[in-house]
Amino acid sequence: MSVYDELTGTRIRTTAGKLGLPHLAETINEYARRADEAKMGYLDFLDLVLSEELAVRDDRRFRQGLRLSKLPHHKTLDEYDFSFQPELDPRKVKDLASLSFVDGKANAALLGPPGVGKTHIAVALAVAACRAGYSIYFTSLDDMVRSLKAAEAAGRLVNKLGTYLRPSVLVVDEVGYQPLERAEANLVFQVISKRYEKGSIILTSNKTFSEWGQVFGDEVLATAILDRLLHHCEVIAINGPSYRLKNRLQAIERETDVA
């Protein structure tokens, strides 16, 4: 490499650092080598550099989004065993993965008994949304209510509501596992109402919608919540066997075989 090339490379690294492009600063020599080997023209070289920088930036944003999301894991739909749930149409789930409902600020509800993979699908959709550039946040209904009650008692309810209103996609897991008092249900109503047509909700529940009156301790309030939630909502019911029970039975069989 000539002295001129070294000076130019140094200048590019300095400029890249000032522009907030650390990857370019670290890899400019590699880019130059690839361009030389491929005999790239000026526009092709510029296209290479910009494409690589965008990919690096998108990946950095994606990883940061996952860190802030509170997701319990980062499983994808590729890891979901659709063959174990023959009554579930994979096309319906994969249609949701196109994220058109997120684009339209609509909702998705996954209903079914414990262990059928509702949370797995909800998380996978959230991961896909994060990959596509949407902000996401995960919470169980119980944790959300507990946090909102504590904030209300401390006079910080408006500020805490922002935690659940800011994300483009809010995942609310385990709706119906614990019944709520009316005051608690009213806090949930505030979240649902304020997000209505402004952001998407992905929820999982082991209760049918007809049972939500019992969950929220008030039929009128439950109806008001459902009215806003279901106005624009894709609903998928999963009524197959439990993955957790299957895995436990397989583990017992292995232990028995060893014994």
DSSP per residue, 150-215: HHHHTT-HHHHHHHHHSSSEEEEEEETSS---HHHHHHHHHHHHHHTTTSEEEEEESS-GGGHHHH
Asked if 45 and 111 sit in the same domain, the reply is: no
**Per the domain annotation, does 97 fall within a domain?**
yes
Asked if 57 and 112 sit in the same domain, the reply is: no
Residues shown for the chain: 259
**Per the domain annotation, does 138 fall within a domain?**
yes
Query: Looking at residue 5, what DSSP letter applies?
Result: H
**Domain range holding 39?**
3-69
**Per the domain annotation, does 256 fall within a domain?**
no
Give CA–CA dist 240/223, Å, rounded.
27
> How confident is the model over 113-150, as pLDDT tens digits?
998 999 999 999 999 999 999 999 999 999 999 999 99
Question: Which of 17, 46, 69 is at the close of a domain?
Answer: 69
Asked if 216 and 88 sit in the same domain, the reply is: yes
CB 84, CB 73: distance < 8 Å: no
pLDDT of residue 249: 46
How many domains are contained in the chain? Answer: 2
Q: Is the pLDDT of residue 233 over 90?
A: yes
**Per the domain annotation, does 51 fall within a domain?**
yes
What mean pLDDT comes out for the span 88-99?
A: 95
CB 228, CB 196: distance < 8 Å: yes
Asked if 87 and 169 sit in the same domain, the reply is: yes
Asked if 123 and 52 sit in the same domain, the reply is: no
pLDDT of residue 8: 83
What mean pLDDT comes out for the span 229-254?
A: 74
**Per the domain annotation, does 234 fall within a domain?**
yes
Question: Which of 20, 49, 69 is at the close of a domain?
Answer: 69
User: What CATH number has the domain bearing residue 135?
Assistant: 3.40.50.300
Asked if 110 and 191 sit in the same domain, the reply is: yes
**Per the domain annotation, does 166 fall within a domain?**
yes
Asked if 27 and 153 sit in the same domain, the reply is: no
Asked if 158 and 211 sit in the same domain, the reply is: yes
CB 187, CB 148: distance < 8 Å: yes
Asked if 8 and 116 sit in the same domain, the reply is: no
Question: Which of 44, 69, 94 is at the close of a domain?
Answer: 69
Strands 233-237 and 200-205: unpaired
What ranges in the chain are assigned the alpha helix state H? 3-18, 22-37, 42-69, 90-96, 100-103, 118-131, 141-153, 157-165, 182-195, 212-215, 219-230, 243-258
Asked if 51 and 109 sit in the same domain, the reply is: no
What mean pLDDT comes out for the span 220-235?
A: 96
pLDDT of residue 4: 45
Q: Coil, strand or helix: which one is 139?
A: strand
Q: Is the pLDDT of residue 230 over 90?
A: yes
pLDDT of residue 245: 59
> How confident is the model over 26-57, as pLDDT tens digits?
888 888 888 888 899 989 988 988 898 898 88
Q: pLDDT above 90 covers what percent of the chain?
A: 70
- Going across the sheet that includes 169-175, the strands are 136-140, 169-175, 200-205, 107-111, 233-237
Asked if 164 and 212 sit in the same domain, the reply is: yes
Asked if 36 and 103 sit in the same domain, the reply is: no
What mean pLDDT comes out for the span 76-103?
A: 94
